[in-house]
Chains A and B, each alone.
Chain A
Amino acid sequence: MSVKSEPITINLGPQHPSTHGVFRMRVTFDGETIIDLEPIFGYLHRGSEKLAEERTYTQIVTLTDRMDYVSSMLNNQGYILALEKLAHIDPKPRGVWLRMIASELQRIASHLVAIGFLIQDLGAWGTPLTYAMREREKILQMFEMLCGARITNSYLRPGGVFMDAPIQFWDALSEFTEHFPSKIEELEKLLSSNEIIFSRTKGIAVLTAEQAINASITGPILRSTGVNWDLRKSDPYDYYDQVDFNIPTHTAGDNYARYILRVQEMKESLSIVKQCVEKIEPGPVRPHHDETPNLVKPPVGDCYSAIEGSKGELGFYLVSDGSISPYRWHVRSSSLINLTLLKDMLVGTLFGDLFVTFGSIDINMGEVDR
């Protein structure tokens, strides 16, 4: 007796518990094996890039908050760096150190979210996620001290930051840097020796360095394939050339490598924060408005500036026509570009690997669709 079988096509999303937002995939299965996958974007498109053309340069900072809402500080930093490059603004040292502290804390928070949700996608119901969220909460409280907002910070301004950090921020920060290594260990103890996590992540959705470079994939995913590429080292912005840190790399290029790399990157970020706290000196946090007017009018021209975001190279392209708002603003969002290899990574794997891989790429739909 022969049994007739045919592939089955399923729409996963846009409403699905683990698509990390409103992402849709049209997946074709042969049994449990994925034979085709088509990602469909655009459900969270809010026209940020177009909106920016109607806003002044300082107002655009609020738009960047809402792109990748788990790493707002990094988005702020990327945009402000582009603006400073375009308008030739000299940042104040204290402001730069403060925004480095803020962005490294944000990187830790973003990686915590990534790890927490990756383990959630693996099926560990809630516990690792709440452990990760508990640490993220402390960082968000520090952001609240810095700028009064937790998620949509808008903390950075051209030439520095919005205001100096209050005294209690430094207390909270020193407590955090003291306790966080033990919390990473706790998370590692819970997860990094778990046989189920090994079996679910090791050797799954392997990406080679060639593939990753050809698709211009950046961030932890590129470094997990063994390529030692981090914009903080290779094209240092702010004062990253004055701090000492390593770039963790892994050669496996699979889900486990991407997961464990983020854990190591959190440790490096913490050491950067510690060095920044040592090096910071009193002074103004941003230029006085005599030096840099609040209504920035960059000269006619364009510029591209990129930072190492939590998910990869986060680039901002600004075109100025000399007015108070940009003629064109384009974002090179790392989430979108990191998603492009989804099909190559997933074809041939099983249904269970789909969302694990998706979680290990760590995308944010706010940034993918902008």
Chain B
Amino acid sequence: MFEFIYNILENILNLFVSEFKFQNYILTFIAGALSAFIVINAVLGGVLAAIWGERRLLGKFQQRSGPNRWGPMGTLTSVADAVKVMFKEDIVPEEADKYIFNIAPLLLVVPVFIIFSVIPFGVGLYAVDINVSALFILAITSISGLSIICAAWASANRIAIFSALRSVAMLISYEIPVGLSLVGILLISESMSVMDIVIFQKVPFILLQPVAAFVFFLGSLAEINRTPFDLTEAESELAAGYQNDYSGMKWGLFYLGEFAATIAASSVFSTLFLGGPNGPFLPGIFWLTIKVVAVWFVIIWIRATWPRFRIDQVLNLAWKGLFELTLVNIVVTSISVIIWTDSDPNRLLYIALFNWIFTVPFVFIIIRLLKTKDYVEIKEPSLIYPVGSEIPKFEKVGK
């Protein structure tokens, strides 16, 4: 995208200014700003659509109509919400640390948008191509934890502190399996650049790395604080968690950041595991959109159906389940990569088979190990205590 805009601008400028000394720097800046503008607006539009879509879908799951007042099928509801949020009074608590309180929402929103800079929307349609962009994504996503702890600490609210501590504990735990689950991909594609990974994926990586995809999906659910890992803003426990004291547009930014993070997580998952913009017939951008919407739908589906875990269970799952799975996956993938080198024509097929055979059983083993211990249900009431020994009966006296 950047090169495309840069070339157009250069051609236009060459018509008027033949010899301009600093035109490279200026052009780079303008082209960069333009591509950022396009990406950010695409994501913002996506967020508005996602808010509407999520509410509408949840309505369908819950056998009600969902938003249906503004615009056809309620499509303008999120626009109306955005306008309302902008005009609401901005309240800062007296005991709040004002600077940190104000900067926290931005800290959540900005990294999410930065992630989109390395996502290829089509083959060749990307804002920037960094040669370590997979690592870049992992690094940028952890900033959201900083934002949450800033917000909670600055708003001087005890419930918010709970939320922030949970968030940080989860982020630290899930960074590890998420990061390690990508190692398999990097080993097979032999590159850390998302662009190279996308080009490599004639076969989507979810077929070559099923366990890594599973771990990455659960891990990204935890990192964007979605059900069943929505402990940071567990509504029934912590009310709104770290955003308790926020109002107006700052709260709106948190909301925006969360929904954008959902889209970002679905985009990253579809880019790394579902082949991104690769697909027959349609242009890449359509394929990416279809895949992102599919992943996003699964996230909503989970939200509509599942209860949430408790904090100790969440951490247990990360350290006792997903971490081991990623280790197994790395070992198995390394062996398969060593055995079947580039020269082998059926390399990917063998790697996929090897992976399925040796990693998927571990998922079931882990599930069995982490399963809740079922207690033996005693059918007959115990006779230890006097009242329950038999059905007691009163004698009716008089009327």
Given A126-B62, A196-B307, CB of A227 within 8 Å of CB of B236: no
Interface of B is mostly: loop
Known: A123-B227, A134-B63, A195-B371. A354 touches B387 (CB 8 A): no
Q: In the complex, which residues of chain A have a beta carbon less than 8 angstroms from the beta carbon of B350?
A: none
Residues of A within 8 A of B239 (CB): 16-17
Chain B, 356-396, contact with A by CB distance < 8 Å: what is the 0/1 string? 00000000000000011111011001101101101111100
Tell me, in angstroms, the Cα distance from A16 to B166 when the chains sit together.
19
Which residues 85-143 of A have a CB within 8 angstroms of B?
Answer: 85, 88, 119-127, 129-131, 134
Contact segment of B196-204, B260-268, B310-318, B339-347: B310-318
In the complex, are the beta carbons of B377 and A8 less than 8 A apart? Answer: no
Chain B residues with CB under 8 Å of A325's CB are: none
CB distance from B56 to the nearest CB of A (A): 14
Select which of B161, B230, B312, B378 is within 8 A of A123 by beta carbon.
B230
Q: What sequence of 0s and 1s flags, for each residue 144-166 of chain B, a beta carbon within 8 Å of any chain A beta carbon?
A: 00000000000000110110001
**Chain A positions within 8 Å of B390 at CB level:** 228
Let me know if B385 and A125 touch, CB within 8 A: no
Q: How far is the CB of A245 from chain B (nearest CB, A)?
A: 12
B399 near A88 (CB under 8 angstroms)?
yes
Closest Cβ of chain B: how far from A36's Cβ, in Å? 15
With the chains together, A369 CA to B162 CA distance in Å?
30
- Whether the pair A198, B391 counts as a contact (CB closer than 8 A) is no
Contact of A199 with B309 at beta-carbon distance under 8 Å, contacts A130-B63, A209-B385, A226-B378 already known: yes
Residue B21 at the chain A interface, CB threshold 8 Å: no
Q: List B101-138 residues whose CB lies under 8 Å from chain A.
A: none
- Identify the interface centre among A123, A127, A131, A134: most chain B CB within 10 Å of its CB: A123
- How far, in Å, is A308 (CB) from chain B's closest CB? 13
- Answer whether residue A332 sits at the interface, using C-beta atoms and an 8 A cutoff: no
Indicate whether A182 reaches chain B with its CB closer than 8 angstroms.
Answer: no
Please report the C-alpha to C-alpha distance between residue A194 and residue B227 in the assembled complex, in whole angstroms: 14
Q: Is A350 an interface residue (CB 8 A)?
A: yes
User: Is B311's CB under 8 angstroms from A226's CB?
Assistant: no
Of the candidate stretches A148-156, A172-180, A246-254, the one touching chain B is: A246-254
Give A134 to B64 CA distance when docked, in angstroms.
Answer: 10
Q: How many angstroms between the C-alpha atoms of A123 and B230 in the bound complex?
A: 8
Residues of B within 8 A of A130 (CB): 62-64
A140 to B47, CA, bound (A): 39
Do the beta carbons of B382 and A209 come within 8 Å of each other? yes
Bound-complex Cα distance A16 to B306 (A): 22
Contact yes or no, B227 A125, CB < 8 A: yes
- Is B14 part of the contact surface with A, judged by Cβ < 8 Å? no
A237-258 CB contacts (< 8 Å) to partner B: 247, 249-252
Residues of A within 8 A of B303 (CB): 125
Within the complex, the shortest CB–CB distance from B64 to chain A, in Å, comes to 7
A32 near B235 (CB under 8 angstroms)? Answer: no
Chain A positions within 8 Å of B64 at CB level: 130
Are A235's CB and B394's CB within 8 A? yes
Closest chain A residue, CB of each to CB of B392: A234
Hey, which chain A residues are within 8 Å of B230, CB to CB? 123
Q: A18–B237 contact, CB under 8 A?
A: yes
Report A189-243 residues with CB < 8 Å from chain B CB: 190, 194-200, 202-203, 209-210, 213, 226-229, 233-235
Tell me the smallest distance from the CB of A191 to a CB of chain B, in Å. Answer: 9
Contact B307 A119 (CB under 8 A): yes
The answer for the CA separation of A203 and B313 in the assembled complex, in Å, is 14
Closest A residue to B396 by CB, please name it. Answer: A235
| A40 within 8 A of partner (CB) | no
Residue picked from A130, A190, A199, A249, most chain B C-beta under 10 Å:
A199
Contacts of A202 in B (CB 8 A): 372-375
Residue numbers in B under 8 Å from A122 (CB-CB): 236, 307-308
Whether the Cβ atoms of A251 and B377 lie closer than 8 Å is: yes
A-side contacts of B166, CB under 8 Å: 32
- A353 and B387 within 8 A (CB): no
Question: Is B61's beta carbon under 8 Å from chain A?
Answer: yes
Q: Is the CB of A229 within 8 A of B308?
A: no
Question: Are A131 and B235 CB-contacts (below 8 A) given A203-B375, A209-B385?
Answer: no
Please state if A197 and B62 are interface contacts (CB–CB under 8 Å). no
Question: In the complex the two chains form, is A251's CB within 8 Å of B227's CB?
Answer: no
Q: In the bound complex, how far is the Cα of B264 from the Cα of A35, in angstroms?
A: 40
Set of chain A residues within 8 Å of B308, measured between Cβ atoms = 122-124, 196, 352
- In the bound assembly, the distance between CA atoms of A122 and B391 in angstroms comes to 34
Bound together, the chains give a CA A134 to CA B63 distance in angstroms of 9
**Residue of A with least CB distance to B307:** A122
Instruction: Assess the A228–B388 pair: CB atoms within 8 A.
Output: yes
Closest chain-B Cβ to A258's Cβ sits at a distance in Å of 14
Task: A127-B61, A226-B388 given; name 18 further pairs at CB < 8 Å.
Answer: A10-B158, A32-B311, A119-B307, A123-B230, A124-B306, A126-B58, A190-B305, A196-B306, A196-B307, A196-B308, A196-B309, A202-B372, A202-B375, A203-B373, A228-B381, A235-B394, A352-B237, A355-B236
Binding site for B on A (CB under 8 A): 8, 10, 16-18, 29, 32, 85, 88, 119-127, 129-131, 134, 190, 194-200, 202-203, 209-210, 213, 226-229, 233-235, 247, 249-252, 350-355
Show 16 A/B contacts (Cβ-Cβ < 8 Å), sorted by A: A8-B158, A10-B159, A85-B399, A123-B306, A123-B307, A194-B306, A196-B306, A196-B307, A196-B308, A209-B385, A226-B381, A227-B388, A228-B388, A234-B393, A252-B377, A351-B237
Pairs of residues from A and B, 5 with the lowest C-beta to C-beta distance, nearest first: A123-B308, A122-B307, A352-B310, A227-B388, A18-B236
